[in-house]
Structure 1
């Protein structure tokens, strides 16, 4: 089980990453990987946060018989340049086979995602999203829009500034969250409300993950007294029969 509010479980056939944009500055996965590196039993992270493929974990989802919603590579980025195309295809083959699960693939590497989009098999159980933390990275949304996935989503976390007048055409889900942990940068309510209103206007499910801060449990995830945990509908018939 995952502690990430918008998913059910995680699967990490790839771990590790490198910083790409401002949202990476205080990366939680990097902190965790470097902490795990010091633990003798955590051989998966012997390389710390260097990009590492774990082919022995590829078949894990096939062993999970009960349908799950699975965040793919929560501790890395599947579309990092150091992940071979052949390995990305192997990950997709497993997701294609494990049709009873819903896989959520999230990347900051929208250029490589776009480049490979026609070389991958996008079965309906594969959702794909891009991280967008400020208006300077809006092109990631434009590239995502052209990917032939059934569900396309945005992770606007950490939200680092206002995101006014986004083009949300072709987008099926939006997640918003503040940064948490050491050095967490501030988030403003008006930024969140503006994004929420854009989603409501366009009929897009809106998920507010957290306010964040150095103590995210204390700040919680209520937005003006309400929990926003909307998600796209999952077609159970596709899960069962492929």
Structure 2
């Protein structure tokens, strides 16, 4: 594992309010990532309140262990990956962390899920892509969408999946589902007169390889 502290200041140069995905190909809460480095990441997040930072983890135990030692700024959206019912316990760890937005990423969705959405703000669903992808059943995605609607939780359908991410498109029941947590529009309204379309720009901050 290689850390890239030289990239930490990149968000300071992004002046348009953006959603920043931190470590899309790795995990900030991996056991080998020092607590001091995580604190450096959080310091940058504190210093750039015009961005929203999405942090996704599969390391729920370490997240739980470190949560009391970290100061979570308002512009962190924290999520856990839940691919099937075997990983449902990750949500319980997420619920204990004091963040403004909690989200669940069901990508790739590998089976049906029965979710307790208490204190959850956003659910992302997507099928697997790649040459050896495992096919997602649309009924699994529909059921999660319905659970979100019944609980008042924003639902985002990323892709059906296939050999490539765009192979089967993004439609679920003839509709694109791009719902966002209420906190996103509130954030844009707070941080300037940037047109909403422009402010929906996404960035990636890859700090671990």
Once superposed, what is the RMSD of the aligned Cα atoms? 1.2
Pair 1:57 & 2:28 matched = no
1:201 to 150, 167, 170: 150
Q: Tell me the equivalent position of 1:163.
A: 113
What are the equivalent positions in structure 2 for 1:64-79 lying under 5 Å apart?
Answer: 64-79=14-29
The answer to whether residue 84 in structure 2 is matched with residue 128 in structure 1 is no
Residue 152 in structure 1 maps to residue 102 in structure 2: yes
2:64 is the counterpart of 1:118: no
What is the CA-CA distance between 1:217 and the residue it aligns to?
2.0
**Residue aligning to 1:178:** 127
Give runs of ≥4 in structure 1 deviating > 6 Å.
none
Distance 1:96 1:239 in 2: 15
Alignment partner of 2:181 out of 226, 232, 242: 232
Counterpart among 142, 162, 168 of residue 92 in structure 2: 142
Q: Separation in 2 of the partners of 1:143 and 1:124?
A: 19
Q: Normalized against structure 2, the TM-score is what?
A: 0.87
**How many pairs are equivalent?**
189
What is the TM-score with the length of structure 1 in the denominator?
Answer: 0.76
> Gapped runs of 5+ residues in structure 1?
1-50
In structure 1, which of residues 182, 187, 191 is the aligned counterpart of residue 140 of structure 2?
Answer: 191
**Residues 92 and 239 of structure 1, relative CA distance in 2, 3 Å threshold:** farther
Cα distance in 1, alignment partners of residues 166 and 9 from structure 2: 34
Q: Is residue 69–residue 103 contact of structure 1 (8 Å, CA) maintained in 2?
A: yes
* Aligned partners of 2:42 and 2:73 also within 8 Å: no
- Match in the other structure for 1:218: 167
